[in-house]
Structures are given as C-alpha cells and as structure tokens.
C-alpha cells in the first residue's frame, strides 16, 4: 500500500474539510445581495486577522500580484525605496520596483539572517529620504522572520512607508498591522489561510491611503482606490473570486472560533517541534535565531543531494517537502508546517526527512529526533503566551 501523502511545503498547504466543502458550493453572482453577505462576514474576520481597522481588499491574483499592486499604487517612477534583500522574495520586491521605474537601494542581508533595524536606521540617516521600505515578514526561501516591529520603530519620524509581504506570515505568526505601524500588509491565499492559490489580500494604513490618493496615474486592474470604493459596498472592483471568498469565510470561522491565540500557540509549538527534532537527529538548521513560524529550513550534509532527499521523502514516505532556491538548491530542504497541519503531520515529516537522509548515507539518530520533537512541542504548547509576541511599539 502506498503511504498517505502529506503536503508539508510552505504553500500550497492542506485544505480543511470545511474549507473544501465551502469551495464546492454552487456558484452565485458576484453583484447580487447573497455575495455581499459573504463579503461582509469575510471583511469582519479579515480585520481581526490583520489586527486592523482598515479594509482588507481581496484581489484575484497570487501574492506576487498584491506585491505589484502595492508598488504601483504607493509609488511613482523615480521614487526612492529601500528594499531588504535577504532571499528570493526580497529579490522579487527589487525586481518589481525596478520594472516600474523606482530608484531601488538594496539593503543586502545574508541569506538565513534577519534584517538589522540599526542598519536600516543608519541608511535612512545617511542616504534618505526614502519613500518606502519594502521587506518580507517571513522570507519563504530561507525561513527567516524579519523583525517587523523593530523595523517599524526605526522608521518613526520618517515619511517612509513600511510595506510588508506577509504571504507566509499572516495566519501563521502575529503581525498586528495597526499596533506595529505597518503601512501595507499583504498575503496570499495558499499559506496560512488554507485555501488554493489564486487570491491575495492587501490592507493599507491611513497614511498609505493618502499616498495612493495622490498617485496621478493609478493602475487599471490593481486600482486600490476603486477596490476600496467597491469594498465599502461588499463587492470587488472586477469579477470576484467567488469560490475563494466562500472558502475564506469558512477558514476565518475555523480560526476565529478557537481564537487567534490558539492558532499562534499551535504554530509556535509546531515550529519548535520541527527545530528540536531536526537538531536532535543530527541535522543542522539554516536559521539560528530569527526563524520564521510555519517553515523550517534544514542544512544537508555536503555529500547529500537535496533533490534526492525530496524524491525519497515523497515516493517512499509520502511527505512532500520543498527544496532550496538559487544557490541553496540541493543544499537545503524546507519543511512546511503552516496552515492545516498538526503534530502528527510534522512527526511524519521529520521521520520521512530522517529516513531519506539515512538511505543516502547520513548518520541520523531518528528516535532521538522524534522524541525531542514531541517534547519540544508539548513544552511550547503549554508555555506559550501571545503577549510575548505582540507587544506594540513604545510611544
């Protein structure tokens, strides 16, 4: 019998049954009252998830589309922006900005390390002003969690907008938009939101909206002013992603019924389960300190090919993991544990990873890894407090 397949990548992620059933509902028209009721309920839940009083706009696109929408609405050709470039998706911020004629100043960060708020403050003083600072909350290519709260602190007193790609952070780790002073927060549907790919979500602060309102040439499709106007009537500017809205409504019900603290407690505990298990079995971690929740990157021994590990893990043990990108391809394996994933899934993922490495010649103490992972999970689950991770900026 073939092993049960477990999707343990940093997106797409598994879909809960309630979400799958919601996605299977019959189609309705996106300009009628029934759809507006769904949108109203979704909007209420999204504001809670984003921790904001501002509207959260659904966009029919991937997360990269929301990144492009942020750039084209908030900035104009010739604007100077500082881009934190510490991975594949930091590079994407730079590429989008350059495509639209912005003057990009990269803040180079070693892959596997977090951005230094002091370095940002120094760049602002020495090379500013900048119209924006663009950064990932969670750099998915490495598993780094950039210090968004501290970066916001470094921007205080400047007109620089803080634009945050939360694609693998929203619904995974706390990122309170209003309390931390984030000007633009965006995400995609296929990560912590437990939906198929194809929808993005974006919210702006009031000062970011003023920047959008002053834009003399807003884009046609990604017209956020138009989206905000339609959102006030519980619609979208163009054809709505109706089935995704159904699924999102179900997802928000699941998350908010148990509460955000329960969600974050689980994600935090699963992250420590993965990290402890990996180290105890004899493998090493790419990210030591500023590690993201929901994703763990594993350094492989020099004589082990990451592509072979992925192939064995999937074919022999049913665990679909992700590999590295660019110069990390073949050198790391990324174990995803965000969204609809529990301790049993992570245990299976650790086992598949360890056994695959063993078969390729690595020395692995699998039993020690599994035991350490379970112990870490139980400890963090019982000691987690949300307040330790969501304190707002000092006045």
Q: Which residues carry a binding-site annotation? A: 334
Phi-psi region of 271 (alpha: psi -120 to 50; beta: other; left: phi over 0): alpha
The binding site for substrate comprises: 334
Paired tokens of 334 = 């990324």
d(CA 316, CA 1): 11
Name 291's bridge partners.
Answer: 144
- H/E segment holding residue 351: helix 343-359
Compute the chain's Rg from CA coordinates.
Answer: 21
**Prior bond to 168 cis, omega within 30?**
no
Show the tokens assigned to 360.
């390729």
- For the chain, the straight-line distance linking the first and the last C-alpha, in angstroms and rounded, comes to 60
Residue labelled with tokens 């950064």: 135
E strand intervals along 228-345: 284-285, 295-299, 319-320, 322-323, 332-336
Sign of CA dihedral 173, 168, 224, 46: negative
Q: For 170, left (φ over 0), alpha (ψ -120 to 50), or beta? A: beta
Q: Residue 16 corresponds to which tokens in the numbers above?
A: 């809960």
């Amino acid at each position: 019998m073939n092993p049960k397949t477990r999707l343990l990548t940093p997106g797409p992620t598994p879909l809960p049954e309630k979400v799958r059933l919601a996605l299977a509902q019959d189609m309705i028209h996106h300009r009628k009252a029934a759809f507006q009721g769904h949108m109203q309920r979704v909007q209420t839940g999204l504001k809670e998830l984003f921790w904001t009083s501002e509207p959260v706009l659904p966009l029919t696109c991937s997360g990269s589309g929301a990144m492009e929408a942020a750039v084209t609405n908030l900035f104009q050709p010739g604007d100077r922006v500082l881009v934190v470039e510490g991975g594949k998706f930091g590079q994407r911020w730079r590429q989008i900005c350059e495509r639209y004629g912005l003057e990009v100043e990269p803040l180079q960060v070693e892959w596997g390390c977090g951005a230094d708020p002091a370095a940002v403050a120094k760049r602002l003083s020495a090379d500013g002003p900048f119209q924006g600072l663009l950064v990932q909350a969670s750099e998915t290519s490495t598993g780094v969690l950039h210090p968004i709260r501290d970066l916001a602190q470094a921007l205080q007193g400047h007109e620089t907008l803080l634009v945050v790609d939360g694609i693998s952070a929203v619904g995974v780790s706390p990122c309170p938009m209003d309390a931390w002073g984030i000007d633009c927060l965006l995400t995609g549907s296929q990560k912590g939101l437990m939906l198929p790919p194809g929808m993005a979500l974006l919210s702006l602060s009031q000062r970011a909206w003023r920047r959008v309102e002053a834009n003399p040439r807003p884009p046609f499709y990604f017209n956020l002013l138009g989206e905000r106007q339609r959102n006030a009537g519980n619609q979208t500017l163009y054809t709505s992603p109706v089935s995704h809205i159904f699924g999102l409504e179900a997802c928000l019900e699941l998350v908010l019924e148990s509460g955000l603290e329960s969600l974050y407690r689980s994600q935090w505990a699963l992250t420590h389960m993965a990290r402890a298990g990996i180290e105890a079995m004899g493998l090493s971690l790419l990210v030591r300190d500023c590690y993201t929740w929901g994703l763990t990157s594993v350094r492989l021994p020099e004589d082990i090919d990451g592509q072979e590990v992925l192939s064995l893990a999937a074919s022999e043990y049913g665990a679909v993991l992700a590999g590295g990108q660019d110069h990390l391809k073949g050198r790391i394996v990324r174990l995803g544990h965000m969204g609809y994933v529990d301790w049993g899934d992570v245990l299976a993922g650790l086992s598949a990873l360890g056994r695959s490495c063993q078969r390729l010649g690595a020395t692995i103490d699998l039993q020690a890894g599994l035991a350490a992972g379970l112990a870490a999970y139980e400890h963090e689950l019982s000691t987690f407090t949300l307040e330790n991770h969501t304190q707002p900026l000092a006045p």
